[in-house]
Amino acid sequence: MRKYSKKGEILTKAGEPQTAMFIVLKGGLKKSHKVEEVRHLKAGAITGMFHFLTKDPAFSTIEAEEDTTVWILQSDTFNQLLQDSPTLNQSYIQYLNKVVRQHAKALNSVRSALHPSGSTQIAFFDAKPYDSEAFQKVAKEGDYKVSFNFINHRLNKSVASLANGHEVVCAFVNDILDKEVIELLAQSGVKLIIMRCAGYDNVDLQACKEHDISVTRVPAYSPFAVAEFAVTLMMALNRKVHKAWNRVRDFNFSLDGLVGFDMHGRTVGLFGTGQIGKCAANILNGFGCKVIAYDVKPNPDIAKVLTYVSADELFAQSDIISIHVPLLPSTKHIINADAFKKMKEGAILINTSRGPIVNHKDLLEALQSGKIGGAGLDVYEGEQAYFYENKSESNITDDVLSRLVSSHNVIITSHQAFLTSDALRNIATSALDSVKEFTSGKKGDQLTNAVVQQYK
C-alpha cells in the first residue's frame, strides 16, 4: 500500500507492536530511540523487516522527516506471500542472512575498537551522566580492566538483547530483571549481574540460580548520604522551607503559616536500625532529640544513642518517624491505616527506604484527616513509571501521586537520597571490585557482596 505522510507524522512508536515494513519511495524517515543514534532513511531505504513478521514491539519511533511517500507492507500480507511463494521465501531468508552477517561484522569491528583486548565488557543499563562519569573515573584511577557500554534505557525484555556479548550487566533499582529478562540475559552470555544499589527485590533470584548467573549488590555505599537526606526532609517539613522558598520567589515575605518546632527535645522514632538508621541516630542526637527505635534485630552497638521500643510504642510516642527497613514480604505496606491510627496526632513521616513499605492511599487519607502532619518521601510505590525521568510534559495517571505532590505538607523527591559524589564513588568502587573478583574466578556466594539467598 502506497502512503503519503506529511512532515512530522508518526508511522510507528517505540514499544508498540511493529505490524508493517516500510520502504521509502520519496522523501525521508527518521528513526529515533533513547538507546541509539537518530537514523535518517532516504529513498530506497527499508525499515521494520526484523520485527514486523512477529509483531514484536518496535525498537524505534519512525516519523516522516519531510513530506514523504512510503510503501507499507503489512505483516499479515507478507506472511501470506511467504507461504504462497517458496521462491520468495528462500530469497527473503538469503537476504536476511546477508544483512545479519553484515551487521555482525560491523558490530564486531565497533566492539574491537571500543573495548580493549582483555577487558571485561559491562552492559550498563539506565545510565545517567553522573553514573558514567563516576564509573569511568573510578575504573581509570583503580586500573580496573573493564569497558562500558552505557545504555540510557532501563533494562526490560525489549532491550535485553543489548547485553549480547557482555559477561556483566550493571542494573539499578527500577530495571526489570524478572524470569523472562534473566533468560534473555543468559542467552546473551551474561554471567554476572551487578546491582549498583543496596536493594535487589526487582531481581528474580531463582531464575538467576537456574541460569548460573551470580548477583551482587552494593550493601553500604554511603549510609551517611541517606541518613543526612532523611534529616534534611525532617527539617524542611518542620520549618516549612519548601513553602517559604515558593513564597519568596513571588516576593511574598510574610511568615504566616510557617511556624515549626524545635528539634531539640522532640522524640524521633527510627523504624529500622541498620547502617543508615545508625547514622540517623547519631545525627539526631546532635540535635538533642530523644531517639527511640524499633527493629526485629536490635543493634547493641547503638544502644547508647537510642532506646529500643515496640513498634506500637514507637508509633505512639514519636513526633517524627523515619523509615530505614529493607523491602521484604514482611515489610510491604507495614506502614498502613492501622499504623497511622496508632501514631501521634500531627506526626511527620519520612521514608528514604523503599516505596512499597508505605501504603500511600492510607497515607493520603491520614494526611487529609490531619492525623499525619506531613510526609517527606524520597521513594514511592510505582516510582519506576516516573522517577529519574522528566515527566513535566506528560500526563500523570497516578492519582495518588498527583494528590501527594500537590499537598502543601508533603515533599516528594525523586529517589535522590543516595546522590552524593562520595556515594557515587563508593558505588562504582564496590561494583567494580565485584567484577574484579568475578574475573579472578569467584562466583556465587564466593563474591564479597553476593546476594547469597539465591545460593542457599
Annotation says 354 is catalytic: yes
Of the candidates 12, 47, 46, 5, which has an alpha carbon nearest to the alpha carbon of residue 27? 5
If phi > 0 it is left, if psi is from -120 to 50 it is alpha, else beta; for residue 413 that is beta
If phi > 0 it is left, if psi is from -120 to 50 it is alpha, else beta; for residue 126 that is left
The percent helix, strand, coil of the chain (3-state, each to 5) is 40, 20, 40
Distance CA 13, CA 21 (A): 13
Q: Which of 63, 65, 381, 383 is catalytic?
A: 383
**Residue 48 half-sphere exposure, CB side, CA atoms within 13 Å?**
33
Tally of CB atoms within 10 A around 347: 23
Query: Which strands make up the sheet holding 146-150, listed edge to edge?
Result: 146-150, 120-124, 168-171, 192-195, 214-216
Q: What is the DSSP string of 346-369?
A: TEEEEE-S-GGGB-HHHHHHHHHH
Of the candidates 435, 392, 352, 425, which has an alpha carbon nearest to the alpha carbon of residue 169? 435
Annotation says 36 is catalytic: no
Q: Which of 154, 360, 415, 437 is catalytic?
A: 415
Which amino acid, residue 148?
A: F
At residue 168, φ and ψ (nearest 5 deg) are -125, 135
Q: Which of 354, 360, 381, 437 is catalytic?
A: 354
Annotation says 381 is catalytic: no
Task: Give the cell for residue 242.
Answer: 519548601
User: What is the C-alpha end-to-end distance of the chain, expressed in Å?
Assistant: 58
Residues with catalytic roles? 354, 383, 415
